[in-house]
Amino acid sequence: MNFDLSDEQKMLADQARTMLSELSTPDRIRHLIDSGAEWDEPLWRQLADMGFLGAAIPESAGGLGMTELDLGVISEELGRANASLPFFSSIVLAAEAIRLAGSEAQQQAWLPRLASGEIVACFAYAEGPGGWSDSAIKAEFAGGKLTGTKTPVADAGIAQLAVVLCRSGGQQALALVELDQGEVTREKRQSFDELRAHYALHFAGAKAELLGDGGADAGAVIAELFDRAAVQAAFEQVGAAHACLDMARNYAMDRQIFGRSLASFQAIKHKLADLAVAVELARSNAYFAAWAAGEAPAELSAAAAAARLTGLRAFEMGARENLQVHGGIGYTFEGNCHFYYRRERTLAVSLGSRQYWADRLLASVPASDGKAA
C-alpha cells in the first residue's frame, strides 16, 4: 500500500503550479474580466506546449497516455490558480466523451486536435432548469441532423466542436456537432462565473453525427463519463479550497487588529483549522477516486460521489470563509476573493449538485445489514 503521489506526479504538480502562478496572476485574471475576454488564450497555448492538454489522451491519439491521477494533479493546480481556461469542457468532458464513446475514426479525427489545443470543444448536456434528467432532454438527432436547444453550455463561445447529449430513436445519445455552421446559433448568457462564459446553443437541423456506431444506448457511457469527470472536478475543488485556505491564512498573518495579528485570534485559527481538515479529507477522497478510476472500476461510482461531496464542502467553506476573513477588503474587486467565490458555485452545480451525488453515494451501501431491525 502506498497512498501518496509519486515523485513524478509531485514534479508535475510543481511544474504546473510554477507556470500558473507566473502566468495566471490575480492582475491577469482581473484584466481578463475587465476586457470581457472569454478565456486566457495565451495560457491555453502554454498548457498545450507543456503537454497538459493531452495528458490523459492515449498516445495513439496524440496524447501522453497518462493516468487519471496525473490529470487530477493538473486539475488541482488549475483549481488553485482559478485559471480562465476551457480545460474542464474541452479535455475533461468532451475529449473524454470522444475517447469513451467515439469510433476509431472519430477519435483519430478529433483527439489529436484537442490534445494540441488546435481546437476547443464544449460539452452540452443541460436543457434549462430541468437539467439533464431523462425527461428534460428534448434535443433530437435524426437523419444526420440535430435540432433543439442546450443551455447553459460552458465555453461554447470559443469552441469549434460540441459533444451534445441528445435523443436518437427515443434513447439517450451523444452527438458531435461542428459549431461553425449556419444552423447553429450561440446566444451568450450572463454568466455568474466571470471567468467561464456560458451560452445557450440553438441547433436548427445542424449537421451532426452520433458518437460511436450510434446503436447502443449512451446511458452507460454517460454515467461513466460523469463519474470520471467528477473526479477531476473534485481535484479542482481541492486545489481551489487549498488556495482559499492559503489566502485567508496569509491575509490573517499580515493583518494587524486590536494591536495584534488577526491570525492570533482563536476564532480565526479554529475556522482555518476546520478548513484545513476539510481540505485534507477532500484531497484523500480525490486521491482514492482517481486511483479507482484507473485500477478499481467497480469502486469508481461511489468513490467519485464521495470525492464530489467532500470537495464541494471544502471549497464551499473555503470560498465563503476566505472572503469573511478578509472582511471589507474581500468585497472589493481588487481583493481577489470573488474569483473563488464565483467559481465555487460553478463547480458546485456542474455535473450535478449535492443531492445527485448524495444519491449516487448512498446507492453503494446496502440499505439493510441483513439483520432484522
Partner 1 sequence: MDFNETAEEAAFRAEAAAWLAEHAPRHVLPEGVRLDDAEEAQRGRAWQRELYDGGYAGITLPKALGGRGGTAIEAVVFAEEEDKYNLPRGPYVKIGLGMALPVIAKHGSPEQIAQFVEKTLKGELTWCQLFSEPSAGSDLANLRTRAVREGDEWVVNGQKVWSSWAHLTDWGILVARSDPSLPKHKGLTFFVVKMDSPGVEVRPIRQISGASDFNETFLTDVRIPDAQRIGKVGDGWACCMTVLMGERLGTAAHAGAVEGIIHLAAATPSHEGTAYDDGAVRMRLAEALAEQRAEAHFNARLRTMVSRGEDPGAMAGMGKLSFASRNQKMFGLAFELRGLDSLAPSPDDAVMLDAHYEYIWSTVWRIAGGADEVLRNQISERVLGMPGEIRADKNVPFNQL
Which residues are within 8 A (CB) of 244 and not within 5 positions of it... i.e. 6 or more apart? 275, 315, 318, 319, 321, 322, 337, 340
**Between 230 and 269, how does the x/- string for binding to partner 1 read (CB under 8 A)?**
---------------x---x--xx-------x-xx-x-xx
CA 127, distance to chain mean position in Å, is 19
In one-letter notation, the amino acid at residue 348 is A
Q: Report the 3 state secondary structure along 31-72.
A: HHHHCCCCCCHHHHHHHHHCCCCCCCCCHHHCCCCCCHHHHH
Q: How far apart are CA 31 and CA 28, in angstroms?
A: 5
User: H or E segment at 273?
Assistant: helix 266-295
Closer Cβ to partner 1, 181 or 264, answer by number: 264
Is 373 near partner 1 (CB under 8 A)?
yes
Classified as helix, coil or strand, 261 is: strand
**Between 307 and 326, how does the x/- string for binding to partner 1 read (CB under 8 A)?**
x-xx--x-------------
Among the listed ranges 39-47, 97-105, 111-119, 283-291, the one in contact with partner 1 (CB under 8 A) is: 283-291
> Can you tell me which residue has the cell 464544449?
122
**Between 61 and 100, how does the x/- string for binding to partner 1 read (CB under 8 A)?**
--------x-------------------------------
Is 362 near partner 1 (CB under 8 A)?
yes
Is 368 near partner 1 (CB under 8 A)?
yes
Q: Which residues bind partner 1 (CB under 8 A)?
A: 1-6, 9, 69, 245, 249, 252-253, 261, 263-264, 266, 268-270, 272-274, 276-277, 280-282, 284-285, 287-288, 291-292, 295-296, 303, 305-307, 309-310, 313, 354-355, 357-359, 361-362, 365, 367-369, 371, 373
